[in-house]
Structures are given as C-alpha cells and as structure tokens.
Amino acid sequence: MFPDEGELFKAKTKKSDTLIFFVHFFKGHKKALRRHIELANELGYDAYAFNLRTDFVDHYYVPYSEISEKFGMKHALADQIEENLDELPEYKKKIIFAFSNVAGSAIEVLARRKEDDVMALICDSGPGAAFVMSSYKLVQEQLKVRFLPFKLMATPLIMVGWSKDMHKDIPEDLKKLQEGFPILSIRGWKDKLISASSIDKIFEPCKNIHWTKLALPEAGHLTGLRDFPHEYRDGVKSFLEKL
C-alpha cells in the first residue's frame, strides 16, 4: 500500500524502466491526470500518481514542512512529494511530471533530496514568478470569487498560506540541480493564471539546467493535452526520447 492513495499504473507494452511520477495541481486529484497517465502508458512508461493534501479543513493539518522547517503549503507539499518518491525504490530512474505552481514544490524536493533517481522534470503550466498576480487570478478564476473586496482580501491569505518566499526561492533551488539537468516546460499562451513570460522568469536565470519549451499558442491553463493532444504528445515524446 502506498501513502496518500498512491497508485501504480503499468504500461501494457513497457518500453522503458523509467517511472513517470505525477504530481497534480493545487486542489486537483490523481483522477484529473487520467489523460496524462494514459499518455505515459501509451509511450511505454509505468506511471505513479497520488493525492496531495491541499485542503486545510478536510485534512486537519497545519501546512508546515518538517524537513525544510518552513510554514506554507508549498513546503508541506514538498514533504509529501518526497515521501511518495521514497516509496518507489524499485524504480531506479524517475521523471517527475508536475503541474501549475505545485511544480515549485517538486523543484524544492529535487534541490534538497540526496538520491539521484530523478533524471528529468516536466512542468505543465508553471511554476510562475509573478506570484502576486497568479494568486489573485487563482482566487478569481479557480476559486470563483467575483466580489472585488473579497478578492483583495483573499489574495494575501493565499500568498501567506502558500509560501512567504513567493517563489523567489525556486530559481535558487534550480541552481542546486546537477549541470545539464533536463527540464521540459509546457505552457499555453492563453493561460489566464500563469503567463508564459512568468514561467520564463523562473527558468532563465538558471544556466546549469538544460530546459526546453513546448509552447501551445491556443492553450490555456492546464488545457494543453485535452485541447491539443497531438502537439502535446509529440512534444513530450520528443523530450523523453532525447533522455
């Protein structure tokens, strides 16, 4: 049994011993990654997905990282990601496939973890450097708060509850990765939550990583595979083949 309702999805025709380790988006669920898991299996990779604890009320816990000793959902989720990674020692090579700003939590894990089993990272729709704006857009677009005074009150609460570092720590974490570490950054130009330029500001300062962009001009936030399956599949397949 895996923690956090973790589940292995094995490819019918396995073409690689590498595991694709999925980390879903904020307020998401492993079921929301069905298309992505099917894509991984179709390409011949086993996949793993689990459920992040992203609700204070449902899970009755304070978002605090015991490992980094930091308060904030970003850091607490990093602990959870690391715990699940450590549950899969039979896979000597893993690729993390993370979504939206939660990809920042995955990067935090990569920067501090001593194991060398993660060989690459795929980020879809994040993380972004414009954290104030993305928090405001999260309140407006995902939490559906329409009354302006409520949006202005909720935004700083989201920011403090996520991380006091406001994503300034992510480029520093990326700089701790090994030279030439491969990253695929998938972004939609019509993303209302995290813009492509905001994502670029995360990765551009880090000269040690080898990162590739998969730009989908008509895609929105997290809609790439659903709305543009052929372009998305080809981009992911090409990246995996180069590894």
Q: Judge contact between 211 and 185, C-beta under 8 A.
A: yes
pLDDT at 154: 83
Q: Is the pLDDT of residue 59 over 60?
A: no
**Rounded percentage of the chain residues whose pLDDT exceeds 90:** 81
pLDDT at 156: 84
- Report, as an integer, the average pLDDT of 27-32: 93
Give the whole-angstrom CA distance, residue 133 versus residue 121: 25
Q: Judge contact between 43 and 141, C-beta under 8 A.
A: no
How many Å is the Cα radius of gyration of the chain? 17
Q: Judge contact between 43 and 236, C-beta under 8 A.
A: yes
* Region 3-130+167-242: CATH code: 3.40.50.1820
Considering only 65-74, 139-148, 173-182, 208-217, which range has the smallest mean pLDDT?
139-148
pLDDT at 1: 86
pLDDT at 54: 75
- Report, as an integer, the average pLDDT of 73-82: 96
pTM for the model stands at 0.95
DSSP-assigned states of every residue in 28-67? --GGGGHHHHHHHHHTT-EEEE------HHHHT---EETT
Of the candidates 26, 27, 23, 28, the residue with the CA atom closest to the CA atom of residue 6: 23
Q: What are the beta bridge partners of residue 95?
A: 20, 120
pLDDT band at 55 (very low <50, low <70, confident <90, very high): low
- Report, as an integer, the average pLDDT of 40-64: 82
Considering only 29-38, 50-59, 195-204, which range has the smallest mean pLDDT?
50-59
The domain ranges of the chain are 3-130+167-242
pLDDT at 57: 44
Give me 212's structure tokens. 């590739």
DSSP-assigned states of every residue in 114-167? ----EEEEEEES---S-HHHHHHHIIIIIS---SHHHHHHHHHHHHHHH-TTTT
